[in-house]
Amino acid sequence: MKYSYFPGCSLKGTGRAYEESLLPVFQALGVELEELDDWNCCGATAYMAVDEVKACVMASRNLAIAEKAGHPELIAPCSACYLVLNKTKHYLQESPAVQKVIQAALKEGKLTYSGNVPVRHPLDVLVNNIGLAEIKKRVKHPLKGLKVAPYYGCQMVRPYATFDDQYNPTTMDRLLEALGCTMVNYPLKTRCCGGSLTGTLPEPGLLCSYILLKEAIKRGADVIATVCPLCQFNLDGYHDKIEAKWESVRIPTVFFSQLMGLAFGLSEKELGLHRGFIPMKPLLAPAVA
Amino acid sequence: MAELTRTIKYEADRVKGFGRELMSVPGCEDLQSCIQCGTCSGVCPLSIYMDYSPRQVMALTRSDFKNEVLRSHTIWLCASCYACTVECPRQIRITDIMYELKQRAIHEGIYVKNFPIPVLAKEFYTMSRKYGRITENILAAFMFLKTDWLAAIGMWKLGLGLFRRGRFSLWFHAIKRKDELNRMLATVDNLSIDELKDERKKASKAT
Amino acid sequence: MDKNKQDLRIGFYICHCGHNIASMVDCPEVAKYVEKLPGVVLSRDYKYMCSDPGQELIAQDIREHKLNRIVVASCSPLLHEHTFRGATEKGGLNPFFFHMVNIREHNSWVHTDRAEATGKAKDLARAGIERVAHHRALEVKRVPVNPDVLVVGGGISGIHAALTLAKAGKKVYLVEREPSIGGHMAKFDKTFPTLDCAACILTPKMSEVGAHPNITLWTYSEVAKMDGYVGNFTVTVKRRPRYINEDLCTGCQECIASCVFKEPKFADEFNEALGKRKPVYISFPQATPQVVLIDPEVCLNFKKGILTDKCKKTCVEACGEKQAIEFTQTEKLEEIKVGTIIVATGFKTFEAERIPQYGYGRYPNVYTALEIERLVNASGPTSGEVIMRDGKQPQSIGIIHCVGSRDKKTNRWCSRVCCMYSMKLAHLLKEHTDAEVYNFYIDLRTPGKGYEEFYDKLLEEGVHFIRGRVGEVTDWAFTKEEEGKLVIRVEDTLAGYVRRIPVDMVVLSTGLEPQADAQDVRRLFNMSCGTEGFFLERHPKLAPVNTFTDGVFLAGCCQGPKDIPDCVAQAGAAAAEAMVLIDKGYVEQEPNTAFISEQECSGCKSCIPLCPYTAITYVEDRKVATINEALCKGCGTCVGACPSGSIVQNLFEDEEIFSEIEGVLAK
């Protein structure tokens, strides 16, 4: 089984650990992810703020390259990339005028796009295509006793709730439970982490992250599992500032794929667990027996 | 005693047509049916820092108070989490309207000098156009250098931490076929947003 | 049939209809054109044909010019065919020598080119002239109306309609699906704005229904089938088994006390699942009829609804000599004949789980409005004490308006009564608990008599009114005072701040929707539904209780959300409409029935199974089919199907139709 794979700028930069853990996990399940040839930045949220038409062009180039690659579907792990690529597909479908402009732009780049490549999220593929049974088979070290707060963030479930419920998504919950984790009752599953505001306007941005961290600890979680590189960065990288402003809420935040890798028996180094600011190490000894 | 200011708005304070023009963008027409219920502000996690709540921005936009809207903090504080859009009982695409307002503010240069968010947006735009990809820490560095030197210095610990953990890129990430991307973007360079909007409006009327 | 064109004396009238027709059709020109057509004696154009002088003109012209055919080109026959037939009759001519041509809905209102519209008007007029030559004299059919009435639904609307008719001396069948009549009103504690106790004003009417000799009350029953037409409906009613003989049960309830289940164990539907009942139960103390019933799904004498007879049956013992318990009871079908039907099947409340952000089902102390009615009611599961699911009494309560209503994602409409009942609940809760009460609204709708004054009263009581649609109800606490509470996050749009308000209890004012089986019920009674799913009235302003099916009327919330005064008013109106038909005693029907020409009938019987009104029968000895004129509704199915063409339909005979077609096509 082969899928096209769109990493996005973050997974090659600060979110490196997401790719490092995701690829071997898929491989262990017999699925190969082939990185899109010469993919470009999707535009994320910032581009839309400047020029929507060009944002569509940027995204469409990737869709066209994916179509050329020939694999039936494209996986985009970063929530923002996932949203932007899907949003562009919607625009192309709904507006013939946008279609015309985009096709003309693609032609200039000697590319074509006929709208056939679905853009999927890795959680969706793992749970709905590969299936929990297959995943359970590969669990060598069940993560028993590890209490996890599932954090989905906003852009994976809003505005397009393609594969899970918008208010109470459970795909990641079910996936992590299959690894042996205990999910904590976390009401802030889809509340915004502050996005890019944590860097540009620290007070409001960091408050959003602080709220998530504080509640996870209060609910008894040992670790927060995320799906988005920016969420992981926000929840993991600003603890000094958060402590200075409010209080210490040091709880590790990891990617769900890193937990999967641990359960599958891969090493911490392989999975990029050393890249987080708040280490998960103390938790691992009793959990990964 | 603090200085007193008059807050009355006369018809001359409105920029007639601003609201209508924005609502002609496909996807923004539903703003016409806003009942000002306040659900958007109620669910917005950033609304507690906004000078005008999202609901007020909708009302001001519809009533053509362009200057008040484009100078507000609200449009920059929007993190595009889409909570408002999914909760709105009239299904108004509030987040997309916020994007439209951001675009207008940037195009007209209406924002406080050195305000980090539009600066970040412009840097993002420039970097992705030039290289085809974003190098996050360099982008952040540019943003800080252009807005607040001192804040940049305050980020040294984070920068070092990222470097030590191998999450710090030392040089620009770039695509190979930059020329291809540039040619593609050039085809829409001369295309103004308004032009495309009218076409999109005609098309959406036909379907 | 007067086919000889020489004998034809046709009068043609084209109406301007003010601007409606004249703005797009050159009426004088059409009149001039028609004047030249063969058979036409006079051709006039007139501003308003339907006016008194207009009608008088037709009558006068018939007498003066000895006209024997009339054609009027104006609006839709639905509106004025009857008017002009009347005018024709007044002039001394059989009304069916009149033909109407629609040049408004079919022409002037749908075209934008004046020249083309005028041309089309000429074509249509010519077609009418050709057709009317073939019209024959016909007599209007009179069908007797059965004086009995069926009222479907025993809520306040059904009860009032049934009582009104019964008091007028009519025999009424009142069929109700639940074990008792009373509907939603029986569940309410007090009613707005007077704060009358709902049960106190309803139960006297319920008793009256139970006792009235003219009302046959069938509860725990549903209408299974309806056949027939106005004045002559045949209805099959399915009576579900209660396992109790209604005539023998006295309502003493000894059986309930002695049931093998010492404690009630099963969710009590009447108390919105807040309380419990036993397998043998009575819905509520004032139930009418005062008869218990047994639930075969949980009674130990049954297994999965099938009788096993394995229980001790202490209930039968307690019933003693009355011997009212009959475990062998089965479903019964009753067939009744009525002349009119009033549908008053009511509404259902919006399911609060559909809005997960408000936490219903997730947080135990989030309630729906109907649950609160039972909670504050003295005969409810907590005897009127406001005790929450977690056993505590609330010190702060948030009431959220518009749950499910005014929302494109759920129901677009406003449910009309929720603002008032939310205020009523605010008053009752404050009275019972002295808690801080907050009402969160978008708009306050208080249109009725005494309603705005009720709002004033609430303000004086210190209830907090916050204008803002609630974003979410959550249990995550940001400050110390929010710990352990439900936090309501909302924008207080009037004060201009986003607020977080911690409360102990949240009440969701859910909206009104059509019943879940509204689509099935509407098909049963041959009615339509509007876009929202409520039953469709014939005209929203002028005929709010009639449907498009003659003889079937609507009353109450099944037609749209409304409060009790409006329900009662509509029920009275529906009863009056039914009485119009009953007291007149007959209905006049169009003589557009079909008849069979026996010489041409081959006896193939193809037509018989096709008739939806079972009006065609086979006559053995003559080996032909024959149509019962009284049952025929003129649908035309048999006419089209007959292979030998021996069935003819009045007003739509072949010559009439073909000549009309030729008239349109001729140029």
Span of A192-206, C236-250, C429-443, C606-620 with lowest mean pLDDT = C606-620
Statement to judge: residues A202 and A143 lie in one domain: yes
Task: State the count of interchain CB pairs (< 8 A) between B and C.
Answer: 59
Q: How confident is the model over B85-131, as pLDDT tens digits?
A: 999 999 999 999 999 999 899 888 888 777 888 888 889 988 998 99
The residue with tokens 């362009």 is B66
Q: Which of residues 37-76 of B touch C (CB under 8 A)?
A: 37-39, 41-44, 47-48, 53, 55
Host domain of residue A15: 2-120
- Enclosing domain of residue C633: 594-649
Name the residue with higher pLDDT: A101 or C160: C160
Per-residue confidence (pLDDT) for residue C4, from 0 to 100: 56
Asked whether residue A129 is domain-assigned, the answer is no
Domain ends where: B77, B107, B137? B107
Q: Where do runs of H (alpha helix) occur along C365-516?
A: 369-376, 418-433, 451-460
**Amino acid B195: pLDDT:** 56
Question: In angstroms, rounded to a whole number, what is the distance separating the alpha carbons of residues B80 and B44?
Answer: 10
Condensed to tens digits (0 to 9), the pLDDT of residues B15-51 reads 999 999 999 887 899 999 999 999 999 999 999 999 9
pLDDT above 70: residue A44: yes
Radius of gyration of the CA atoms of chain B, in A: 20
Q: Across-strand partners of C348?
A: C513
Say whether both C13 and C37 belong to one domain. Answer: yes
**pLDDT tens, position by position, C49-94:** 999 999 999 999 999 999 999 999 999 998 899 999 999 999 999 9
Mean pLDDT over all residues of chain A? 92
CATH number of the domain residue A40 falls in: 1.20.1050.140
The helix (H) or strand (E) run that includes residue C155 is none
Amino acid at C507: V
Domain boundary pick from C121, C140, C159: C140
B157 near A CB under 8 A = yes
The band of C520, judged by pLDDT with boundaries at 50, 70 and 90, is: very high
DSSP state of C608: G
Residue C200 lies in a domain: yes
- Return the DSSP state at C363: B
Domain that holds residue B123: 116-188
Number of domains in chain B: 2
Residue B57 has pLDDT above 60, yes or no: yes
CA distance B63 to B18: 8
Nearest residue on chain A to B181, judged by CA atoms? Answer: A109
Could C476 and A167 be called an inter-chain contact, meaning their C-beta atoms sit closer than 8 Å? Answer: no
Q: Is C366 on the interface with A (CB under 8 A)?
A: no
Strand-pair partners of C440:
C400, C466
Task: Label residue A267 exposed, middle or buried (CB < 10 Å: 0-12, 13-18, 19+).
Answer: exposed
Q: Kindly list the distances between the CA atom of residue C537 and the CA atoms of A241, B82, C151, C528, C556, in Å, as whole numbers in the listed order.
A: 65, 41, 17, 8, 12
The verdict on residue B194 lying in a domain is no
Q: Using one digit for the tens of pLDDT, what is the confidence trace for A107-153?
A: 988 898 888 899 999 999 999 999 999 999 999 999 999 999 999 99
Percent of chain C with pLDDT over 90: 92
Indicate which CATH number applies to the domain containing A163: 3.40.50.11810
pLDDT band per the 50, 70, 90 thresholds, residue B55: very high
Question: Cβ B116–A201 below 8 Å, yes or no?
Answer: yes
| Cβ atoms of residues B84 and B43 within 8 Å | yes
- CB pair distance less than 8 Å for B99 and A98: no
User: Could you tell me if A149 and A224 are in contact, meaning their C-beta atoms sit under 8 angstroms apart?
Assistant: yes
Cβ of C469 and B42 within 8 Å?
A: yes
Q: Which of C296, C330, C364 is the last residue of a domain?
A: C330
Q: Is the peptide bond before C289 cis (omega within 30 degrees of 0)?
A: yes
The pLDDT assigned to C72 comes to: 97
Predicted local confidence at residue B197, as pLDDT:
52
Whether omega for the bond prior to residue C381 falls within 30 degrees of 0, making it cis, is no
Question: What is the mean pLDDT of the segment spanning A260-267?
Answer: 94
**C523: CATH:** 3.50.50.60
CA distance B67 to chain A (A): 18
Same domain? For C407 and C293 the reply is no
Confidence of residue C5 (pLDDT cuts 50, 70, 90): low
- Residues B93, B158: one domain? no
DSSP assignment letter at C310: -
Q: What is the ipTM of this complex?
A: 0.89
- pTM of this structure: 0.88
Q: Mean pLDDT over residues A85-90, rounded? A: 90
Q: Are residues C320 and C351 in the same domain?
A: no
- C544 within domain boundaries: yes
Domain boundary among B107, B142, B162: B107
What pLDDT, on a 0 to 100 scale, did the predictor assign at position B194? 53
Residue C9 reports pLDDT greater than 70 = yes
A238 lies in some domain: yes
Tokens of C288: 């009418």
Our count of domains for chain C comes to 5
pLDDT at residue C308 is higher than 50: yes
C-alpha dihedral, B140 to B142 to B146 to B148, nearest 10°: 40
Do both B97 and B18 map to the same domain? yes
Average pLDDT value for residue range A168-183 = 96
**Is A50 touching B (CB cutoff 8 A)?**
yes
Q: Which of A162, A131, A118 is nearest to A6 (CA)?
A: A118
pLDDT in tens, C364-407: 999 999 999 999 999 999 999 999 999 999 999 999 999 999 99
Distance from CA of A38 to the nearest CA of B (A): 6
Q: Which of residues 2-61 of B touch A (CB under 8 A)?
A: 26, 45-46, 48-49
Instruction: Tell whether C241 is covered by a domain.
Output: no
Among B82, B93, B126, the strongest candidate for a mutation testing the A interface, having the largest count of A CBs within 10 A, is: B82
Residues A256 and A145 reside in one and the same domain: yes
- One domain for residues A282 and A143: yes
* CA of A257 vs chain B CAs: smallest distance (Å): 18
Which tops the pLDDT comparison, A93 or A187? A187
Per-residue pLDDT reduced to its tens digit, C150-196:
999 999 999 999 999 999 999 999 999 999 999 999 999 999 999 99
Who wins on pLDDT, A172 or B2? A172
**C210 and C260 within one domain:** no
